[in-house]
């Protein structure tokens, strides 16, 4: 059987899962909403300029969405660049880049596998951010209905879905 892009993708995922910095990054993403809740607890008012910012103290469901909005402005791009750069740089630092490039895979397959692994890591970070935001926001402000951007009120269960 000839190796494919999925082979390179599995290699890259295995390498990501074996590195401490992978788990540190996911943990840092999960701490961001907790830090946001702490800061919101120390101040009055809120980030009303953010989409759904007017809901922050009314429903815990808004926290995850507001934090994701802030993360999408600069955080996701920064993390993607760092992870993508690190995936190639770690090969160079480890002295394994030449060996990887001489494998039975084409360079385009190796690059595609590394790209898919980067995307997978960023999605994992965003899911950790979302989950921690939902839990932290619900603990801080409860599981209450949410007013959407058009002014309509959504039930908490509907807003969660």
Beta bridge partners of 146: 154
What is the residue extent of each domain of the chain?
Answer: 5-160
| Entry pTM | 0.79
DSSP 3-state assignment of 152? Answer: coil
Give the pLDDT confidence score for residue 83 in this predicted structure: 75
Kindly give the confidence (pLDDT) of every residue in the chain, 161 residues in length, as a single tens digit, with 9 standing for 90 and above. 677 889 889 988 998 898 888 888 888 888 988 888 888 778 776 666 666 666 777 788 888 887 887 777 777 777 777 777 777 777 777 777 666 666 678 888 888 988 899 889 888 988 998 899 889 888 888 888 887 778 788 888 888 77
How far is Cα 160 from Cα 7, in angstroms, rounded to an integer?
A: 36
Give the pLDDT confidence score for residue 13 in this predicted structure: 92
């Amino acid at each position: 059987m000839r190796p494919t892009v999925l082979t390179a993708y599995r290699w890259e995922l295995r390498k990501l899962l074996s590195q401490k910095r992978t788990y540190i990054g996911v943990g840092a993403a999960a701490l961001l909403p907790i830090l946001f809740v702490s800061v919101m607890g120390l101040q009055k008012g809120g980030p009303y300029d953010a989409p759904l910012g007017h809901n922050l103290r009314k429903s815990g469901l808004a926290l995850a969405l507001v934090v994701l909005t802030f993360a999408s402005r600069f955080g996701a791009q920064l993390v993607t660049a760092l992870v993508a750069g690190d995936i190639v740089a770690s090969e160079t630092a480890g002295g394994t880049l030449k060996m990887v490039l001489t494998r039975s895979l084409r360079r385009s397959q190796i690059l595609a596998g590394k790209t898919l692994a980067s995307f997978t890591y960023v999605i994992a970070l965003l899911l950790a951010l979302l989950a921690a935001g939902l839990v932290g926001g619900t603990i801080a402000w409860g599981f209450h209905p949410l007013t959407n951007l058009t002014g309509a009120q959504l039930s908490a269960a509907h807003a969660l879905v």
